[in-house]
Amino acid sequence: MHHLVLLCVFLSSVVYGNGGITSSFIRSEWPAVDIPLDHHVFKVPKGYNAPQQVRITQGDYDGKAVIISWVTPDEPGSSKVLYGTVQGKYDFVVQGTYSNYTFYKYKSGYTHHCLVSGLKYDTKYYYKIESGESSREFWFVTPPGLHPDAAYKFGIIGDLGQTFNSLSTLEHYMQSGAQAVLFLGDLSYADRYQYNNVGVRWDSWGRFVEPSTAYQPWLWSAGNHEIDYMPYMGEVSPFKNFLQRYTTPYLASKSSSPLWYAIRRASAHIIVLSSYSPFVKYTPQWEWLHEEFKRVDREKTPWLIVLMHVPIYNSNEAHFKEGESMRAAFEEWFVEHKVDIIFAGHVHAYERSYRISNVRYNVSSGDRYPVPDKSAPVYITVGDGGNQEGLAGRFTEPQPDYSAFREASYGHSTLDIKNRTHAIYHWNRNDDGKKVATDEFVLHNQYWGKNIRRRKLKKHYIKSVVGDWIAR
């Protein structure tokens, strides 16, 4: 009985509360400057033209494929990936493609992309990348098959950069036990540099994150620091560096752009939006999202998650109201389709909302302020990865009623899906070398948790999830 009461308290805190919390915690942090290029975290692999910046992402709609990407710095080398289910024994070979590009006078290495498809669910695969006499070996684990009760743990990181604070976040994330990263945009912050150093810092970031990206999929979304619009250098093609280096399975979800797409993984349907691409009515992104919501099957993948860079609800003075245009375009759909949770970055702090919406206001009439709405998502800003711009420490006062918790500290989040009805969410502050869970709650699924036909089923899952959570 005590466990059920405790669960109810957590669930009610997600829906709405009497007042939010603004944390007064002040952490001692490393200076917000990039790590020097001669630091070991940027070390170039041994061997001539050895593959580097290795990363994987999901390669299809349903999680039975990966795209393996890497860079060879001196010459193209091979675009083949050898793989198999036994370490050192590679029964399969697949051929990829490569390309290179220039940015100002910087000439990139050769970026390879290789689609490995037809994989078995819930299986560990070993893979090898060769370039002449140099080779490197890694592994990854495929997700469980699509099922409403498939358990899966996602990490959430945004605005990472390549400072010592970024390194703290990355190292703590890698101890979390999460199986894939939902990345919320703003990768390298290379646009803080000029001329050839822009490309150099894209390269260093690829090596910086490789200890994680080579072993588990990072699902990419693009932020403002990926735009790289630099007319003083003659570079005016938005997202040029990002699109040349990072790929997404956009075609699998019938998208026309790598910047917005969707995947299904375990029990989750994940939609990635682009805050810096046109999204008003009749644009390609708007039309695509309208159709993608029709493809969502909550009987099979009950957890509906949306990623974007610019937060729709944000009570920090930094980037205040920048998400209003996307809110006006899409919030009604988020409520109509009962999205469970929306993650955003951009603001270099952490904030979580209650379930609220502002869909009743139509400019000329209706409620002008967000109100409690049980059909609305929880909005969470995780833009605190550690980049060189530092923390956004100035929140608006008083704290808005819709804001449940906010704090300006570096960290990352995890969403640990237990089954079709409940997931456990944590925001972990990187406090003086320790992974500290600062904000945590049990998230109640919007579809299965409220379906009257499944009340008996729900009771069994509540006991299971709460028992597991209490035992941590």
- Residue at token pair 């974007």: 308
Residue type, 122: D
Closest listed residue to residue 68, CA positions, set 117, 110, 109 = 117
Integer Cα distance of 184 and 350 in angstroms: 13
Element (H, E) at 213: helix 196-213
As a whole number of angstroms, the longest Cα–Cα distance in the chain is: 70
Instruction: Report whether the peptide linkage leading into residue 400 is cis, meaning its omega lies within 30 degrees of zero.
Output: no
Residue 237 buriedness (CB in 10 A; 0-12 / 13-18 / 19+): middle
How many degrees, rounded to 5, is the angle at CA 209 between CA 206 and CA 212? Answer: 130
Residues 6 or more apart whose Cβ sits within 8 Å of residue 159: 184, 185, 186, 223, 225, 345, 346, 348, 383, 384, 385, 386, 387
C-alpha R_g of the chain: 22
Element (H, E) at 304: strand 303-307
Choose, from 112, 319, 337, 422, the residue flagged as catalytic.
Answer: 319
Integer Cα distance of 207 and 188 in angstroms: 11
Which two tokens mark 125?
Answer: 């695969």
State the angle between helix axes of 455-470 and 2-15 in degrees (0 to 180), rounded to the nearest 10.
100
CB 413 within 8 A of CB 378: no
Which two tokens mark 188?
Answer: 């390298």
- Residue at token pair 């998502």: 377
- How does DSSP assign 145-198, residue by residue? PS-TT--EEEEEE-S--SBHHHHHHHHHHTTS--SEEEE-S--S-GGGS-THHH
Pairing of strands 110-116, 124-131: unpaired
- The β-bridge partners of 265 are 268
Q: Kindly give the residue spans of alpha helices, DSSP state H, lying in 275-395.
A: 284-295, 324-336
- Sheet order of strands, 110-116 included: 52-58, 66-72, 110-116, 97-99
Q: What is the 3-state secondary structure (H, E, C) of 49-76?
A: CCCEEEEEEECCCCCCCEEEEEEECCCC
Integer Cα distance of 58 and 366 in angstroms: 42
Does 346 participate in catalysis according to the annotation? Answer: no
Active site residues: 319
